[in-house]
Amino acid sequence: MRKTPLQQVNEEFSNKDKLVDELLGLIKRPADTTKDEMKKKLRAQSNRKLLILLAREQKVKKSYGNRDKLIDAIVKVGRDKTEDKTYRKRLVILSTGQLLDLARRYRIEK
């Protein structure tokens, strides 16, 4: 039988706070948001959403090292060299999930 998100969080992290702390180390927070504000926002999310976010961020870290290297890989494959700067600016705005989808589409997923 499949475990519920609450069971998964309790089994792997013992509580939601430890999961949120691990996520804070992986995600890049907006410049205008303090660490406490970000922690509060993450605590308000469902366990399922937090587990999905953790899996996505761990995949980026394992496969590419960080988000910037993922963007570099997409830019290298995606466009001509003349449009690098504008294309990169557009990619920086996208979420990590959208970037991973682009990597899948360009078949550069590791």
What is the per-residue pLDDT for 55?
95
Digit-by-digit pLDDT tens for the chain (110 residues) are: 889 999 999 999 999 999 999 999 888 888 888 999 999 999 999 999 999 999 999 999 999 999 999 998 888 887 665 567 788 889 999 999 999 999 999 888 66
pTM value? 0.83
- The DSSP code sequence of 32-44 is T--HHHHHHHHHT
Q: How far apart (Å, rounded) are the C-alpha atoms in residues 50 and 1?
A: 21
